[in-house]
Amino acid sequence: MVKQFKGVTLECLQGNITAQRDITAIVNAANAWLRKGGGVAGAIHSAAGPGLEQECRPLAPIKTGEAVITGGHNLPNRFVIHCLGPVYGVDKPEPILLGNCYRNALKLAEQNKIDSIAFPAISTGIFGYPLAEAAEVAVKTVMEVIAASKLEHLKLVRFVLFGQQDLRVYEEVFSRLMPEK
């Protein structure tokens, strides 16, 4: 699904975060130590190669809600922005901390003149955040940042969902928060 919001294209689609060839920066659902791990982080580090962990080492540890930026190494993307999402039921208040991931990632994108960014559904795997709640926070926060017109360079924000059911949830949130006029 594709929407236009205040001059920025917002998309949600089903796919693998490591296969977004047309995107300048992909976002990693990282761990505090920016190590390989599983899920999104495992896939990103596998595709990027060992140079990514090497570049990450001096940047770790990061705090919940924080974001740091590195190169893309062997990925098709110029940058990786690593975010540490909240562990659901542990790191509170979860919506604020999850929102900070999206806010801080977009801040780094702007600082680095990035035109396109792809987010996975941060915290909704191993960290246990219910997808529907997380989708609401993700889309609302991105819209808030765009509406505050802090972004001069960003033209495209893509949400990449692993499963078809997850995509449906995002599509429902997109339709509700950005209805056709």
Contacting positions for ligand AR6 (CB under 6 A): 16-18, 29, 31, 37-41, 43, 85, 120-127, 160, 162, 166
Choose between 25 and 151: whose C-beta lies nearer to ligand AR6. Answer: 25
Residue 163 C-beta: closest distance to ligand AR6, Å: 6
Residue 142 C-beta: closest distance to ligand AR6, Å: 16
Residue 170 C-beta: closest distance to ligand AR6, Å: 11
Residue 44 C-beta: closest distance to ligand AR6, Å: 8
Residue 174 C-beta: closest distance to ligand AR6, Å: 17
Choose between 7 and 38: whose C-beta lies nearer to ligand AR6. Answer: 38
Choose between 86 and 151: whose C-beta lies nearer to ligand AR6. Answer: 86
Under 8 Å between Cβ of 117 and 156: yes
Under 8 Å between Cβ of 109 and 154: yes
Choose between 87 and 156: whose C-beta lies nearer to ligand AR6. Answer: 87
What DSSP string runs through 115-161?
A: SEEEE--TTSSTT---HHHHHHHHHHHHHHHHHTT--SS--EEEEEE
Choose between 40 and 154: whose C-beta lies nearer to ligand AR6. Answer: 40
